[in-house]
């Protein structure tokens, strides 16, 4: 029965596609699920196991689990990423065979299984179609001691077929009676260039300011290479490493600036097939090449819960450790942030 329903749905969609060429409506995309149900609209993107499609009969987009999709037809070319790291600018359409898709970039046609696709997005020439952003805000007010704490977390990105630029900027400010104000800032800008077979090279700059370690500013420039050990519709897991230059200035006037060369090695895990939950964690070790026995560690953990209309709740922690801080400074600094955010 399910096979019959699926074939009937394909026939209906084929007829609709033919009819659309004779009317002035916008081009439409189509999905059929493994249970034979179908939806028609405009595909916005597929990422981290979720395909987002806009329809004319709903006020909000549908978020659909990609592993439930067995058939797809789209009128657009897409930037497509496969589980083996290959990337294509191509059309994406199912064949008559169940779960089989043909990618056509104009020069070649490639047959793949539907679940080999880990991400795709329609290709458009405008800046905003390649841009992504999110922002989280949190505000705490307490009458006792007039405590005020405000924090922000901001992420932006720009993605093309061969490279991407992404950045983040996070702040925490706390003020209360009879206690010195506390502030913390961390930021990052990264350029990634994608190589074949799940490899990539990158250059990034990290920035950190915190009162606990008496850091006026730590700036770390990194040049490295990374590799995805696992990249599927539910999990990204990768390793990376390289060399770094570290420059530090301190809030204590008596403390001289520090400059050092470092190696670094790290890992990142992203889990996103947990219903509306997703988890992102990474850890990086920086053994010094120019200072005896010095090592720094950076750790990040984020737990995100998706809400309707592209809102979400996110809680996370960032930890920075240095086994050789300046005199009078702590070797460990951490922040825990929880807030509501919106992504675009």
User: How do residues 107-150 score in pLDDT, each as one tens digit?
Assistant: 889 999 988 899 888 876 566 767 889 999 888 777 666 778 88
pLDDT of 19 above 80: no
Amino acid 149: pLDDT: 85
Look-up of token digits 């987009």: 61
Residue 58 has pLDDT above 80, yes or no: no
Closest CA to 100 of 75, 63, 126, 72: 72
**pLDDT range class, residue 2, cuts 50, 70, 90:** very low
Lowest mean pLDDT among 88-97, 174-183, 317-326, 328-337: 174-183
Q: What percent of the chain is predicted at pLDDT more than 90?
A: 43
Q: How confident is the model at residue 85 (pLDDT cuts 50, 70, 90)?
A: confident
List all residues 6 or more positions away from 142 whose beta carbon is below 8 Å from its beta carbon. Answer: 148, 176
Most confident of 38-42, 53-57, 221-225: 221-225
pLDDT, mean of residues 215-243: 94
Confidence band (pLDDT; 50, 70, 90) for 218?
very high
All CATH 2.40.160.40 domain ranges in the chain, comma separated: 129-343
User: Which has more confidence, 80 or 59?
Assistant: 80
Q: Which tokens go with 153?
A: 């977390």
User: Higher-confidence residue: 272 or 335?
Assistant: 335
Higher local confidence (pLDDT), 304 or 196: 304
267 with 282: CB under 8 angstroms? yes
Give dist(CA 19, CA 31) in Å, integer. 17
CATH of domain 129-343: 2.40.160.40
Could you tell me which residues come within 8 angstroms of residue 84 by beta carbon, excluding any fewer than 6 positions away?
116, 197, 198
pLDDT at 342 over 70: yes
Residue 12's pLDDT is what?
47
What pLDDT score does 84 carry?
85
Average pLDDT, the chain: 85
**More reliable by pLDDT, 226 or 232:** 226
What per-residue confidence (pLDDT) applies to 142? 74
Tell me the per-residue pLDDT of 249-288, one tens digit each, with 9 for 90 and over. Answer: 999 887 899 999 999 999 999 998 677 889 999 999 999 9
pLDDT at residue 209 above 90?
yes
**In the structure encoding, which two tokens stand for residue 57, read together?**
């009969």
Nearest-CA neighbor of 199 among 227, 241, 176?
227
Of residues 57 and 134, more confidently modeled: 134
Q: In this predicted structure, what is the pLDDT of residue 140?
A: 75
Supply the pLDDT for residue 20.
42
For residue 74, pLDDT over 70 is answered with yes
pLDDT at 102 over 50: yes
Distances (CA, A) of 91 to 50, 158, 248: 19, 21, 49
Q: Tell me the DSSP string of 32-95.
A: EETTS-EEEEEEEEEETTEEEEE-TT-SS-EEEEGGGEEEEEEEEEEEEEETTS-EEEEEEEE-
């Amino acid at each position: 029965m399910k096979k019959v329903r699926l074939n009937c749905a394909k026939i209906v969609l084929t007829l609709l596609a033919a009819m659309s060429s004779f009317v002035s409506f916008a081009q439409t995309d189509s999905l059929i699920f493994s249970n034979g149900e179908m939806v028609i609209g405009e595909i916005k993107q597929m990422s981290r196991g979720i395909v987002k499609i806009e329809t004319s009969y709903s006020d909000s987009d549908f978020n659909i689990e990609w592993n439930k999709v067995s058939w797809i037809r789209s009128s657009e070319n897409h930037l497509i990423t496969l589980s083996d790291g290959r990337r294509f600018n191509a059309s994406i359409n199912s064949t008559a065979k169940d779960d089989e898709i043909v990618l056509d970039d104009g020069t070649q046609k490639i047959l793949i299984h539907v679940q080999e696709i880990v991400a795709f997005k329609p290709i458009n020439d405008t800046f905003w179609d390649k841009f992504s952003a999110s922002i989280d805000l949190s505000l705490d007010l307490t009458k006792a001691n007039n405590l005020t704490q405000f924090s922000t977390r901001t992420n932006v990105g720009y993605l093309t077929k061969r490279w991407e630029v992404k950045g983040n900027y996070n702040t925490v400010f706390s003020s209360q009676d009879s206690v010195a104000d506390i502030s913390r800032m961390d930021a990052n800008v990264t350029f990634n260039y994608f190589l074949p077979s799940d490899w990539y090279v990158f250059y990034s700059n990290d920035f950190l300011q915190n009162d606990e370690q008496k850091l006026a500013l730590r700036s770390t420039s990194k040049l490295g290479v990374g590799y995805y050990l696992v990249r599927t519709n539910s999990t990204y897991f990768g390793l990376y490493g390289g060399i770094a230059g570290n420059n530090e200035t301190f809030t204590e006037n008596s403390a001289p600036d520090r400059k050092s060369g470092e190696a670094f090695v790290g890992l990142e895990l992203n889990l996103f097939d947990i219903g509306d939950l997703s988890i992102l964690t990474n850890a990086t070790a920086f053994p010094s090449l120019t200072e005896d026995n010095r090592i720094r560690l950076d750790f990040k953990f984020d737990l995100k819960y998706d809400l309707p209309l592209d809102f979400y709740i996110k809680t996370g922690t960032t930890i920075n450790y240095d086994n050789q801080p300046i005199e009078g400074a702590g070797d460990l600094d951490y922040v825990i942030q929880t807030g509501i955010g919106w992504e675009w």
